[in-house]
């Protein structure tokens, strides 16, 4: 049981504040008759370096106040009298949580001042609140007289700190909430559920777009001769599977991947997995959304087989009966919109692949051949690549090499 006996009043001086000779009393935080716990702040001092709180050396009742706000004081200046309550000073603060910089003082020695930093000053309630929040008041802009920090300043500071802390997280991983709009307010609408394919591919596309640092290079390949060759092949065997431009692109892609193995790779943590096989994915447009079937071991297949396989896989995808394993294991993808149209686009990399080739519609253009403008069938190519794995120069060389092969397909034999 604590001894409730009243001990004689003690003087509370300014504790050891170093060499400071003219600390100024900013605020007296207690009044005569106040009952304080050990470590409660009694007086607020300000020096040219910091604001200091003088804590109660022991629990007790405040008697006479010996100084006034505005007085200059130094170590040893008597501040007030305190009649201790209980025979021993509190070991742990009773009312105020100890701030990180204050230890309960020994019974007889003057308590160490609490340094709250800067020249911020505030009333005891605000200081208590700041301590509870673990805040340094010097960081809080005070809106009161002479910059005094008010409770609302503290709340605003906390809100701003939380908002600031949330910002990088939001930018890095959580996008801001999708706008919620009552569209019917503006006109008649109809609602449709997203297809299963879109519900699955949507988050994957968002992840790939948001997490892979994409860069897209553009080029054109002169496919005049290649298209003539394709027509020739198809004319030779009109009943066989039609050889498509996409199958030539796949063959040229294999040759280019052999030359640039970093594109036939996948990023796995700090490692690049270099693949020694050639499975090429191709984007297939289906009524339910985009799917990416994979043609395996294209290095070992001929143009006709590849074309037939593309047609078969695309049909399965459109009819919704393609199997998941037929969409796995791709090394790089090709997205061809050439059959539809367009000048070019920036395809999204199909993670964990390193790049994706976009193919737009070939068009006849007058191309200067050194002597004259020759009508040429130019195929627009775009290559999106992961800048964590490859650099612009390598990507440009990759695309130049690919377009060179398409321009003169005989080089594939070299």
Cross-strand bridge partners of residue 41: 55
Structure tokens at 156: 């605003």
Q: Which listed residue (46, 71, 285, 305) binds ligand CAO by CB under 6 A?
A: 285
Evaluate whether 77 touches 22 at the Cβ level (below 8 Å). Answer: no
Residue 290 touching ligand CAO (CB under 6 A)? yes
Q: Which listed residue (60, 84, 93, 338) binds ligand CAO by CB under 6 A?
A: 338
Q: Which listed residue (23, 254, 359, 381) binds ligand CAO by CB under 6 A?
A: 359
Measured from the Cβ of residue 221, the count of other Cβ atoms closer than 10 Å reads: 25
Residue 253 touching ligand CAO (CB under 6 A)? no
Q: Which stretch binds ligand CAO (CB under 6 A): 24-32, 45-53, 81-89, 358-366?
A: 358-366
The Cα–Cα gap between 36 and 64 comes to 14
Site for ligand CAO in 189-248 (CB under 6 A): 242, 244-246
Phi, psi (deg, nearest 5) at residue 39:
85, -5
In a 13 Å sphere around the CA of 35, the CA atoms on its Cβ side amount to 5
The Cα–Cα gap between 339 and 341 comes to 6
Please say which residue, 111 or 362, places its beta carbon nearer to ligand CAO.
Answer: 362
Q: Which listed residue (80, 310, 332, 390) binds ligand CAO by CB under 6 A?
A: 310
Rounded least distance, CB 203 to ligand CAO, Å: 15
Residue 296 touching ligand CAO (CB under 6 A)? no
The Cα–Cα gap between 41 and 200 comes to 60
Q: Which stretch binds ligand CAO (CB under 6 A): 160-168, 211-219, 330-338, 395-403?
A: 330-338
Please say which residue, 158 or 377, places its beta carbon nearer to ligand CAO.
Answer: 377
Residue 46 touching ligand CAO (CB under 6 A)? no
Owner of token pair 């777009």: 209
What share of residues in the chain are helix, strand, coil (percent, to 5)?
Answer: 30, 25, 45
Residue 303 touching ligand CAO (CB under 6 A)? no
Please say which residue, 157 or 230, places its beta carbon nearer to ligand CAO.
Answer: 230
Instruction: Give catalytic status of residue 155 as yes or no.
Output: no
Residue 308 touching ligand CAO (CB under 6 A)? no
How distant is the alpha carbon of residue 337 from its chain centre?
32
Closest CA to 122 of 160, 90, 155: 155
Evaluate whether 67 touches 28 at the Cβ level (below 8 Å). Answer: yes
Evaluate whether 227 touches 246 at the Cβ level (below 8 Å). Answer: no
Rounded least distance, CB 313 to ligand CAO, Å: 8
Please say which residue, 114 or 336, places its beta carbon nearer to ligand CAO.
Answer: 336
**Cα four-point dihedral sign 386, 363, 404, 232:** positive
Residue 114 touching ligand CAO (CB under 6 A)? no
Where on the chain is the footprint of ligand CAO (CB under 6 A)? Answer: 242, 244-246, 282-285, 290, 310, 314, 335-339, 347, 359, 361-362, 379
Name the residues annotated as catalytic. Answer: 387
């Amino acid at each position: 049981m604590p001894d409730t006996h009243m001990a004689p009043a003690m003087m509370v001086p300014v504790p050891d504040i170093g060499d400071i000779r003219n600390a100024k009393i900013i605020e007296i935080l207690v009044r005569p008759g106040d009952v304080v716990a050990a470590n409660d702040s009694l007086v607020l001092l300000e020096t040219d370096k910091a604001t200091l709180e003088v804590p109660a050396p022991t629990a007790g009742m405040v008697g006479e106040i010996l100084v006034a706000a505005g007085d200059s004081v130094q170590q040893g200046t008597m501040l007030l009298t305190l009649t201790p309550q209980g025979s021993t000073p509190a070991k742990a603060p009773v009312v105020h949580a100890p701030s990180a910089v204050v230890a309960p003082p020994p019974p007889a020695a003057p308590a160490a001042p609490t340094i709250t930093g800067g020249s911020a000053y505030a009333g005891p309630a605000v200081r208590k609140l700041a301590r509870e929040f673990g805040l340094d008041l010097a960081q809080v802009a005070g809106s009161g007289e002479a910059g005094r920090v008010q409770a609302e300043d503290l709340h605003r500071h906390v809100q701003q700190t939380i908002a600031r802390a949330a910002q990088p997280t939001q930018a890095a991983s959580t996008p801001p909430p999708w706008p919620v709009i009552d569209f019917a307010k503006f006109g008649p609408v109809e609602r449709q559920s997203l297809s299963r394919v879109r519900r699955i591919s949507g988050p994957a596309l968002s992840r790939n777009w948001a997490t892979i640092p994409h860069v897209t290079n553009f080029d054109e390949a002169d496919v005049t001769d290649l298209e003539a060759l394709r027509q020739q092949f198809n004319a030779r065997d009109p009943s066989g599977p039609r050889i498509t431009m996409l199958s030539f692109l796949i063959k040229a892609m294999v040759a280019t991947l052999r030359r640039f193995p970093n594109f036939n790779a996948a990023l796995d943590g700090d490692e690049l997995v270099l693949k020694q096989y050639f499975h090429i994915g191709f984007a297939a447009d289906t009524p339910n959304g985009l799917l990416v079937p994979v043609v395996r071991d294209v290095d070992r297949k001929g143009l006709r087989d590849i074309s037939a396989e593309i047609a078969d896989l695309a049909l399965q995808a459109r009819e919704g009966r393609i199997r998941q394993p037929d969409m796995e294991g791709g090394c790089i993808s090709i997205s061809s919109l050439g059959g539809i149209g367009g000048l070019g686009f920036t395809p999204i990399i199909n993670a964990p692949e390193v790049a994706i080739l976009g193919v737009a519609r070939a068009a006849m253009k007058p191309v200067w051949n050194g002597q004259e403008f020759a009508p040429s069938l130019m195929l627009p190519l775009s290559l999106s690549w992961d800048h964590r794995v490859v650099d612009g120069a390598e990507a440009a060389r990759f695309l130049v090499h690919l377009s060179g092969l398409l321009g003169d397909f005989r080089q594939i034999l070299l």
